[in-house]
Structure 1
Amino acid sequence: MESVLLDTLKPYLDRPRWVVAFSGGLDSTVLLHALTRLKEHPSLHALHIHHGLQAQADDWQRHCKQFAESLGVSFHTANVSVDDCASVEDAARRARYAAFGDALNAGDVLLQAHHLDDQAETLLLRLFRGTGLEGLKGIPTARELGDAILVRPLLGLSRAELEDYAREHQLSWIEDPSNHDTGFDRNYLRHNVLPQVEARWPAYRATLARLASLAESALPEDSISNLTFHTRTSTWSALDLESLRSLDEGSRNAALRQWLSQTGLTPSLAQLQALQKSMLWSSADAEPVFELGEFQVRRFKEVLYITSLTPFDPSLELAWDGGSVLDIPGVGKLSAVGGSQPERFTVHFRRGGERCQPAGRAHSQRLKKLLQESDVPPWRRDRLPLIYLDGELAAVADLWVCADYAERLAEWRFVWEPAG
């Protein structure tokens, strides 16, 4: 318990006060007790909100005062009036937060004891009420509260874990009878619905907490525009790896989800983690390929690409006059514009040893060298159509016209649309 608290509260050790919202129930009792066991913490203060809604409210206030004092923690009660309205829960919440605002000083940390079960209940209630993405973020671990900050250090622990702690330390706490009134939506969910959910999906709490974390880290629409760019060798946008690495893990997941959504893919968290391990952290000279359904994610020179490559026949040889679209199965479409007279082209793929002197350059080079220098991704090189005239290489897709054929093909412009 202490290690969980410290993980969350370490950034707030230099604050003047930690003020615990202390109702006397199981959750806040465990929180207050566990805080006093920390080796290091600021001044602790227990704040009890007296709503006056139950006949036992005065007894609860006395219990809370005695418990806090037994731990050596200063104690204060704030009496509030709850408006008579349709939703007593909402009115009580508004009254509580008004009291918190009055009691807190600048720089204070208000600690609330919400836990994993509270998070799951909140998310489900919001779903049933038709929440948007903002609502799926659930209960935040921390947020600003005026000049103070509100922190919930138990949000990763279940109620069962808090009960185990309370039994181990022989703690007593208040049981509010209204918590069993199923006329309230949260209580109905807690007592009538979630036991059946747990019987079928025992890990639902962690699953819903993960959903909240994903929603919290989701990036706004089009927010990855500064990470992506379009290339002539891909149907889909490419993703800059250096920029991706600069993000925190949650933002990286969100950026990858947005980037992959252009294909209709919806990867799981496990797939995203495996993808990052393969693409972001493997050796610089590796050429990793990550399969996602019919698609692949590939890396080349600090850029991620999406491909959907299917088998093709590298020995294929096709006759073409340039007047129609040449559809090459599994590879793409080759077309031409501007030529006034048809030509007797032959189209095939690399076989090794090809050379071309691109028009305007002084020397010929091996095609392999040209493709490397032009940063054509490796998986595209063997799929580029090579255009021949009279048995000689005349053009390489839409990249270069070879100098010996520059005059003959001066009116021609080739257009290459790769598949996948």
Structure 2
Amino acid sequence: MRSTLPAFNEVWQRQFRSDVLKQEQQFPENTCFLIGCSGGMDSMLLLHLMSYLYPEKIRAIYIDHQLQTLSASWGAFVSDQCAALNIPCIVEAVNVQSGNLEQQAREARYQAYLKHLKPNEILVLAHHQQDQAETLILRLLSGTGVQGLSAMKKVDIREQFTLWRPLLNTSREQICQWSAQLDVQNIEDPSNLNTDYDRAWCRHELWPMLQNRYPKMQQALGRTSYLMQDADEILQDVLQQDLAFCGTVAELDLKKLSQLSTARQRQLLSAWMKGQETYRPNFGMVERLRYEVIESKLDAQAALHWNQHYYLRYQQKLFRLSLDEYLAEKNQSDTLVVTIQVQLNQNIKVLSGQYLAEPNKIGLSASLLGKTLSLVLRQGGEKIYLHGRVGSWPLKKAIQEAQIFPWQRHTIQILSIDNVMLGVFTPQGFWLAQSEYCEVGGWQPNLIS
């Protein structure tokens, strides 16, 4: 890091440098930086400062959302400014999907960042104190909770990358004065004035009215975000304890969940539904999960769909299934019967998983190896004489007793030869049937995945 910054207000310089040094201590040695640069005043000032602080350790990236006729020329401007500062620059055009334009543009932007970030790089963005305050206001108006009101972190360590916001304590007014003193060139995006967008409306219409009444609102909201970050950190500790007590990322024990207070139940369900996604479900969706699924009648087949997952209850447990898992039965082939030939130590792939044909103390006769065997989907009404049990059982009853999940039962296949049942492939393994082909020192398919 260079020892000096370009001349500007000494108080700001000391404060900014102190903040940077504290935050830098969180980064591994030899960390480099990828600066997201839109060409606006904030990001261009950040680009200049980083060029002084970390020469030869930075790159810049301009994301062209292709939503403005001048967006390509803005990319050229950023590229030229980077060349003057001897900073490598990437210009990446993205396609923004339809829907909420602000959200979809953000998603496209971050996907582009991920595409270009190197393993030793941290993404650096120019969010400042007013951005933080606006984020808090907008999230408050959307009905968010503690995590949402935490707004943005200076150093945000995410699953796929780390994000650093060095200017988060710097006011918009300071940035304007600082940029003027350093003669930082920038472009103006006219969409920033379009109050059809929530953030522009907040900045140009709501903000002046509130600031007129509360002159120190920006600093106060900044403090609130930090207090909420503290509260969220405490809440995360409680959530981890509650999740460990109640279940896993895939299922929750409803009896144990009921032992928690209503507030802790609601928080755990919200965080559990979020999973690895960026945002939690809204309050209404969590309430729907409670009333429509958890508290539905015991014989109900209730399921709730949210954000590419289905949530459903079975045997006093709540399950989180992917879209593919839940819809697998509907997307299954109509073919009822297929044939297979098995050799010893051969992998067998069936609907319920991957099996390996191995020698077993009690198993199927070696005479079946290499023969054409039938695999038949369960139709209902079948009976099975399970080896080691007395008499035949309805297959349905055996499945229920084994508590095989209803959404997995379509994968159950009956193995047979000449209408003689040899056994059943299930998600819990192969069930050997008593038959003339069942013998000591035989072989059996064993579930491996």
Shift of 1:170: 0.7
Matched, 1:143 2:160: no
Q: State the match for 1:109 in structure 2.
A: 122
Partner of 1:26: 41
Instruction: Kindly state the Cα deviation for residue 140 of structure 1 after the two structures are TM-superposed.
Output: 1.4
Instruction: State the one-letter code of the partner of 1:137.
Output: S
Which residue, 210, 220, 242 being the options, matches 2:235? 220
Work out which of the residue numbers 202, 205, 209 in structure 1 matches 2:215. 202
Secondary structure of 1:92's match?
helix
Q: Does 1:76 align with 2:90?
A: yes
Which whole-Å CA distance do the structure 2 matches of 1:13 and 1:205 have between them?
32
Question: Closer, same or farther in 2 for the Cα pair 1:32/1:170, shift >3 Å?
Answer: same
Amino acid at match of 1:90: Q
Assess if the C-alpha contact under 8 Å between 1:16 and 1:42 holds in 2: no
Match of 1:49 in 2: 63
1:64 to 69, 78, 91: 78
CA distance in 2 between counterparts of 1:151 and 1:66 reads 24
Describe the SS at the equivalent of 1:52.
coil
Partner AA of 1:182 in structure 2: T
Q: Which residue of the partner structure matches residue 184 of structure 1? A: 197
Aligned to 1:89: 102
Q: TM-score, normalised by structure 2?
A: 0.47
- Within 2, Cα distance between the matches of 1:222 and 1:143? 17
Distance in 1 separating the partners of 2:227 and 2:98 = 38
Which residue in 2 is equivalent to 1:375? none
Structure 1: which amino acid aligns with 2:127? H
Equivalent position amino acid for 2:202 in 1 = L
CA distance in 2, matches of 1:16, 1:169: 27
Alpha-carbon distance in 2 for matches of 1:33, 1:7: 20
Distance (Å, rounded) in 1 between the aligned partners of 2:194 and 2:78? 23
What is the CA distance between 1:200 and its match in structure 2? 1.3
TM-fit CA distance, 1:77: 1.1
d(CA) in 1 for partners of 2:97 and 2:194? 20
How big is the shift at 1:9?
A: 2.9
Q: Partners in 1 of 2:85 and 2:199 — Cα distance? A: 32
Give the Å deviation of 1:12: 2.9
Report the alpha carbon displacement of residue 205 of structure 1 after superposing the two structures with TM.
Answer: 1.0
TM-score computed with the length of structure 1 as normaliser:
0.51
Counterpart code for 1:161:
Q
Distance 1:135 1:173 in 2: 31
Tell me what 2:177 maps to: 164
In 2: Cα distance, 1:54 partner to 1:68 partner: 22
Secondary structure at 1:49 match in 2: strand
Secondary structure at the counterpart of residue 11 of structure 1: coil
Partner SS, residue 220 of structure 1: helix
CA–CA separation in structure 2 for the residues paired with 1:72 and 1:91: 32
Q: Contact (CA 8 Å) 1:15, 1:109: kept in 2 or not? A: no
Instruction: Give, in angstroms, the shift of residue 143 of structure 1.
Output: 1.9
The equivalent position to 1:36 in structure 2, one of 51, 54, 75, is 51
Deviations 1:177-229 (A, max 9, x none): 00000111111111111111111111111111111111111122995xx9xxx
Is the Cα contact below 8 Å between 1:105 and 1:148 reproduced in 2? no
Find the aligned partners of 2:25 and 2:105 in 1 and give their Cα distance: 31
| Alignment CA distance shift 1:14-1:53 (3 Å) | same
**CA deviation string 1:264-317 (max 9, x = no partner):** xxxxxxxxxxxxxxxxxxxxxxxxxxxxxxxxxxxxxxxxxxxxxxxxxxxxxx
Match of residue 29 from structure 2: 14
Aligned twin of 1:361: none
Partner Cα distance (2:76, 2:225) in 1: 37
- Superposition map of 1:221-260 within 5 A: none
* C-alpha spacing 1:203/1:84, structure 2 compared with 1 (3 Å): same
Change (3 A) 1:13 1:37: farther
User: How much has 1:59 moved relative to structure 2?
Assistant: 0.9
Task: Give the CA RMSD over aligned residues.
Answer: 2.1
1:266-277 → structure 2 map (5 Å cutoff): none
Contact in 1 for aligned 2:23/2:155 (Cα 8 Å) = no
Residues in 1 aligned to 2:30 and 2:225: alpha-carbon distance in whole angstroms: 28
Q: Tell me which residue corresponds to 1:175.
A: 188
Report SS of the residue matched to 1:186.
helix
For 2:224, the aligned partner's letter is L
What is the distance in 2 between the residues matched to 1:146 and 1:220? Answer: 19
- Residue by residue over 1:290-349, the C-alpha shift from the partner in whole angstroms, topping out at 9 and shown as x without a partner, is xxxxxxxxxxxxxxxxxxxxxxxxxxxxxxxxxxxxxxxxxxxxxxxxxxxxxxxxxxxx
Looking at structure 2, the residues matched to 49 and 148 of structure 1 have their Cα atoms a distance apart, in angstroms, of 18
Distance 1:83 1:116 in 2: 29
- In structure 2, what is the equivalent of residue 99 of structure 1? 112
Q: CA deviation at 1:8?
A: 2.7
The number of residues matched between the two structures is 223
Q: Which residue identity does 2:175 align to in structure 1?
A: L
Unaligned runs of 5+ in 2: 1-12, 242-449
- Give a deviation string over 1:117-174, Cα, whole Å, max 9, x none: 0000000001111111111101111223444311111100011111111100111101
Q: 1:131 to 1:147 in 2, by over 3 A?
A: closer
| 1:211 alignment partner, SS class | helix
1:107 Cα shift? 2.5
How far, CA to CA, are the matches of 2:237 and 2:97 in structure 1?
43
Q: CA deviation at 1:47?
A: 0.8
Percent identical residues:
32
In structure 1, what residue type is equivalent to 2:72?
D
Contact 1:9 1:153 in 2 (8 A): no
Residue 286 of structure 1: aligned partner:
none
**Structure 1 position 13, deviation (Å):** 6.8
Aligned to 1:153: 166
Q: Counterparts of 1:147 and 1:182 in 2: how far apart (Å)? A: 33
Deviation at 1:51, TM superposition (A): 0.8
> What is the alpha-carbon distance in structure 1 between the residues aligned to residue 62 and residue 89 of structure 2?
8
Opposite residue 9 of structure 1, the aligned amino acid is E
Q: What is the letter of the counterpart of residue 134 of structure 2?
A: E
Q: Partner amino acid for 1:6?
A: L
- The alpha carbon displacement at 1:22 in A equals 0.7
